[in-house]
Amino acid sequence: MKIEENSEQETPEQVSKTQRKKDMIALQKLGEKLTTLKPAQLEKLPLDVKLRAAIDEFKRLPNSRGARKRQAQYIGRLMRNSDSQAINEAVENTQSNPAKPKIPIKEYELWCTRILQQGDAGITLLLEGHVGFERQKLRQFYLEYGKSSENKRPQVEKKLKTYLEQVLRI
């Protein structure tokens, strides 16, 4: 008794349904990554007009009733027709080389420590070298730090560092 061979066996050229599904999910995730990028970063990527419009539409949609999820699926479908490998490489390059901050982070910590230890003298030194700070706000941080308990001091220090970072990066 001879068993007939199945002529529908997969050849190396055919891709399984599971693999196609994984590829589509990967494209959708790449599309979701694209939706998190800023417009300036999107301009640098090799995106076609339809895909760019779909990404912009995603950003405008509210997250009600699954609107963003459907739009993400649509972006994934559009990704099939585009050069997803080139887009993925460009996204990796933009995320691996973020814009370097203008001032090293250690400088924020230096100024924070100086202000919290020296008070008005540290604030005056900062204001002499940098424009854009509000003396009153810096003094409020210093006074709040002095009045607060040991448990609250790290929170005040964090607020001061955030303020210093915002103004120094401008």
- Mean pLDDT over 80-93 rounds to 81
Give the helix/strand (H/E) hosting 40: helix 39-43
- 17-96 topology per CATH: Diphtheria Toxin Repressor; domain 2 (1.10.60)
So what's the pLDDT on residue 14? Answer: 85
- Mean pLDDT over 22-42 rounds to 84
Q: Identify the band that residue 144 occupies on the pLDDT scale cut at 50, 70 and 90.
A: very high
Place of tokens 């027709």: 81
CA separation, residue 164 to residues 8, 21, 134, 150 (Å): 67, 48, 11, 22
Alpha helices in 61-104, H assignment, sequence order: 67-80, 84-96
- Mean pLDDT over 52-59 rounds to 88
- Mean pLDDT over 63-92 rounds to 83
| pLDDT for 100 beyond 60 | no
So what's the pLDDT on residue 96? Answer: 61
CA separation, residue 140 to residues 116, 149, 156 (Å): 11, 16, 10
| pLDDT for 155 beyond 90 | yes
Q: Is 0.85 surpassed by the pTM of this model?
A: no
Between 131 and 170, the higher pLDDT residue: 131
Q: CB burial class (10 A; 0-12, 13-18, 19+) of residue 36? A: exposed
Q: How far apart are CA 109 and CA 43, in angstroms?
A: 35
Lowest mean pLDDT among 14-23, 60-69, 131-140, 158-167: 60-69
Q: How far apart are CA 72 and CA 85, in angstroms?
A: 18
Q: Are 108 and 165 in contact (CB under 8 A)?
A: yes
Q: Are 46 and 86 in contact (CB under 8 A)?
A: yes
Between 96 and 26, the higher pLDDT residue: 26
